[in-house]
Amino acid sequence: MSVPHKPLVYIISAPSGSGKSTLVNELLKTVSDLEFSISYTTRAPRGSETNGRQYYFISRPEFEKMIHEDQFLEYARVFEKDYYGTARRFLHEAERNGRDLLLDIDVQGAAQIQQKLPGAISIFILPPNRKTLEERLRKRSEDCDEVIQRRLTAATHEIENYDRYNYILINDQLEDSIELLRGVVRSERLLRGGRPLSSDEDKIVKLADCCRLANVRERLKPILDSFRTPGDSGGIDPR
């Protein structure tokens, strides 16, 4: 009998507007056997979002029913408003299909998953500074001013959790970030594969190592400062 597949679970968190959806979409195009866990949420669809694609959009009573039925691996109220949750069935499906699972969840959800699945790999995406985050939120043109301000305030709190993550990715140049994110996913698969690595594979692991928390700490301070003192431009070139 074959050994059942134990999916690698990748958690990705980021302040809203950092570019997480953009990066995740690019990642899913080029990495095989990686399933995106579509979350349930009580928030309304934005822009061109459709039910069952970015999220399952459900009512609050429906969400609460799912909580009572213990259908969630984790769930949280985000921005002190709407519920978001990861259904357990996605983990079971990934297991059955021999695939790994990618969770795009907030810092509260990430903490719950890290407790339940200690082997999960966590990645935190940061914008280069606060000003850039605000520009990206405005450029996306999906939220009104009040919502943008709420997201910026939330970001200030969220980024303080960066050190609970295994990897930190500063999303400055999009192409570089895509390459790094792909590197992290592939590196973890290689490292857990338990076989000797070729020199090309070794390069992937080294690339991913650039994003390990211990290796980016120095570059984080000015980014964190730009959120702590928003009057500043946060002006650094993080490269």
Binding site for ligand ADP (CB under 6 A): 14, 16-22, 136, 139-140, 171, 174, 177
The entry of ligand ADP, ligand 5GP, none that residue 106 binds, CB within 5 to 8 Å by partner kind: ligand 5GP
Distance (Å, rounded) from C-alpha 208 to C-alpha 215?
10
Distance (Å, rounded) from C-alpha 91 to C-alpha 107?
19
**Radius of gyration in angstroms for the set of CA atoms belonging to the chain, rounded to a whole number:** 18
- Length of the chain (residues): 239
Contact track, ligand 5GP, 95-114, x by CB under 6 A? ---------xxx-xx-----
The entry of ligand ADP, ligand 5GP, none that residue 76 binds, CB within 5 to 8 Å by partner kind: ligand 5GP
Would you give the end-to-end CA distance of the chain in angstroms?
50
Nearest approach in angstroms of CB 103 to ligand ADP is: 14
Which residue lies nearest ligand ADP, judged by its C-beta? 19
> What burial class does residue 100 get, using C-beta atoms within 10 Å of its C-beta: 0-12 exposed, 13-18 middle, 19+ buried?
buried
Which residue lies nearest ligand 5GP, judged by its C-beta? 109
Complex with ligand 5GP: residue 76 or 159, whichever CB lies closer:
76
Complex with ligand 5GP: residue 54 or 129, whichever CB lies closer:
54
Complex with ligand ADP: residue 21 or 156, whichever CB lies closer:
21
Q: What is the largest CA-CA distance in the chain?
A: 62
The entry of ligand 5GP, ligand ADP, none that residue 156 binds, CB within 5 to 8 Å by partner kind: none
Nearest approach in angstroms of CB 159 to ligand 5GP is: 12
Q: Which two tokens stand for residue 119?
A: 């082997």
Write the DSSP string, 37-70. -PEEESSPP-TT--BTTTEEE--HHHHHHHHHTT
Residue 135 φ then ψ, to 5°: -60, -40
CA distances from 113 to 5, 75, 119, 181, 199 (A): 19, 10, 9, 20, 33
Complex with ligand ADP: residue 22 or 161, whichever CB lies closer:
22
* Interface with ligand 5GP (CB under 6 A): 13, 16, 39, 43, 74-76, 78, 84-86, 104-106, 108-109
